Amino acid sequence: MVSGFASAGHMGMAEECFRDAPEKEDAVLWTAMVSGYMDAGNVDKAMEFFQAMPVRNLVSWNAVLAGYVKNSRAEDALRVFKTLVRDANVRPNESTLSSVLLGCSNLSALGLGRQIHQWCVKLPFSRRVTVGTSLVSMYCKCGDLEGACKRFSEMRTRDVVAWNAMISGYAQHGDGREAIRMFEKMKHKGVEPNCITFVAVLTACIHTGLCDFGIQCFESMQEAYGIEPRVDHYSCMVDLLCRAGLLERSVNLIRSMPFEPHPSAYGTLLAACRVYKNLEFAEFAAGKLIEQNPQSAGAYVQLANIYAAANQWANVSRVRRWMKDNAVVKTPGYSWVEIKGVIHEFRGESEGANANEAQ
DNA sequence: CTAGGGTTAG
């Protein structure tokens, strides 16, 4: 019940249940509170519970480790990992390693990642898929693509997740063609791609400018693999089409989506409209963005700039009035400089909906 | 109760 409330984000209820529990020594109960608060982003509360635990097991330690990483506190995660290895009377397992390697990735701490890699080779479970995949991912994110390839080739079994890590690694490093080659190889080996595979492949297409192949993938994921595209797939497609200058196709795709697109899709479109000087679609994209977030200045400014570039000054002032009517708050820009030990702060113009001087 | 893979604009 405690973990039920915790996973639903009702920490108040979870805490009530926790207090009423008959067995106070139960590590499972305490760990549910720790991970519940970690998931809710309340690291301090989570650690209060962890410190107060009468009995800790490996899962409790892993919950703290994973929680720190999730809440972008990788340094703390690594600190906990050191104490875990040194003086906690628990032996790390796969999930310990996954979390700590992800922590290394977030810090781009390649040296430390390598050290942990060397150290974990000796462990009995080091050859499992999960550990291998975590290593591949860590090497990719720390910029050592060669290291990632080595780990990948050492793996005895490679499931979808392992392939996805390698494919997206190539895609992230701008080697879209190699990513696509891996994708073909994966299919050849009989591993079924899943929805995340296609996000990685579409990303690779974006980076490599392979518009037609991307469209082909998008279609085949539905027809050949029965995977329904999600918001992220649509976002990739919008980006792909926009970069190729196919604005109309991109708008049609957005219109055909069975759900609301991610706001960034409109942002991508708007930016592309500026490049390709398309006023009609710019109005459409900016309108949607403003509808979703009328107080934010970004879309108005973009739109006004597009009109200005087309010498449509009447429209520029229309956008300005529109901004005023919606009481747009422009977050003021700050800058500071240190002169002889004194910090001088400057604040940009904050009021006034002057679309030209913004940006 | 913990734990491996994911993207894009400016």
Query: pLDDT (tens digit, 9 = 90+) per residue, A272-302?
Result: 999 999 999 999 999 999 998 888 899 999 9
Of A313, A333, A326, residue with least CA distance to A353: A326
Mean pLDDT of chain A: 90
Q: Is A337 helix (H, G, I), strand (E, B) or coil?
A: strand
DSSP state of A297: S
The whole-number Å distance from A112's CA to B8's C1' is 30
Determine whether the distance from the CB of A236 to the nearest atom of strand B is below 7 Å.
yes
Structure confidence at residue A333 (pLDDT): 55
Residues pairing with A343 in the sheet: A338
The whole-number Å distance from A113's CA to B1's C1' is 27
Query: Interhelix angle for A27-39 vs A58-70, to 10°?
Result: 0
Determine whether the distance from the CB of A235 to the nearest atom of strand B is below 7 Å.
yes
Residue A332: partners with Cβ closer than 8 Å, 6 or more residues away: A347, A348, A349, A350
Determine whether the distance from the CB of A164 to the nearest atom of strand B is below 7 Å.
yes
Q: What whole-number distance in Å separates Cα of residue A245 and Cα of residue A286?
A: 18
- Encoding tokens for residue A337? 């400089």
Of A265, A269, A287, residue with least CA distance to A278: A269
Q: What whole-number distance in Å separates Cα of residue A134 and Cα of residue A106?
A: 13
Determine whether the distance from the CB of A305 to the nearest atom of strand B is below 7 Å.
no
Residues pairing with A336 in the sheet: A345
Q: What whole-number distance in Å separates Cα of residue A170 and Cα of residue A159?
A: 17
The whole-number Å distance from A316's CA to B2's C1' is 55
Nearest nucleotide to A101 (CA to C1') is B4
Determine whether the distance from the CB of A71 to the nearest atom of strand B is below 7 Å.
no
The whole-number Å distance from A261's CA to B8's C1' is 13
Task: Write out chain A's pLDDT in tens, 359 residues.
Answer: 898 899 888 989 999 999 998 877 899 999 999 999 999 999 999 999 999 999 999 999 999 999 999 999 999 999 999 999 997 889 999 999 999 999 999 999 999 999 999 999 999 999 999 999 999 999 999 999 999 999 999 999 999 999 999 999 999 998 999 999 999 999 999 999 999 999 999 999 999 999 999 999 999 999 999 999 999 999 999 999 999 999 999 999 999 999 999 999 999 999 999 999 999 999 999 999 999 888 889 999 999 999 999 999 999 999 999 888 887 776 555 565 556 555 565 655 544 334 444 33
Determine whether the distance from the CB of A197 to the nearest atom of strand B is below 7 Å.
yes
The whole-number Å distance from A266's CA to B8's C1' is 11
Determine whether the distance from the CB of A330 to the nearest atom of strand B is below 7 Å.
no
Residue A173: its H or E element: none
The whole-number Å distance from A234's CA to B8's C1' is 10
Residue A32: partners with Cβ closer than 8 Å, 6 or more residues away: A2, A3, A6, A14, A18
Nearest nucleotide to A263 (CA to C1') is B9
- CA dihedral A166→A172→A174→A175, nearest 10 degrees, is 10
Q: Residue count of chain A, please give it.
A: 359
Q: Which nucleotides on strand B sit less than 7 A from a protein beta carbon? A: 1-10
The whole-number Å distance from A70's CA to B3's C1' is 12
Task: Let me know: does A29 contact A60? Beta carbons within 8 Å.
Answer: no
Phi, psi of A344 (to 5 degrees): -100, 130
Determine whether the distance from the CB of A306 to the nearest atom of strand B is below 7 Å.
no
The whole-number Å distance from A331's CA to B4's C1' is 40
Q: What whole-number distance in Å separates Cα of residue A282 and Cα of residue A271?
A: 8
Residue A142: burial class (beta carbons within 10 Å; 0-12, 13-18, 19+): buried
Q: What share of chain A is helix, strand, coil (3-state, %, to 5)?
A: 65, 5, 30
Q: What whole-number distance in Å separates Cα of residue A172 and Cα of residue A145?
A: 10
- Encoding tokens for residue A96? 């310990």
Determine whether the distance from the CB of A250 to the nearest atom of strand B is below 7 Å.
no
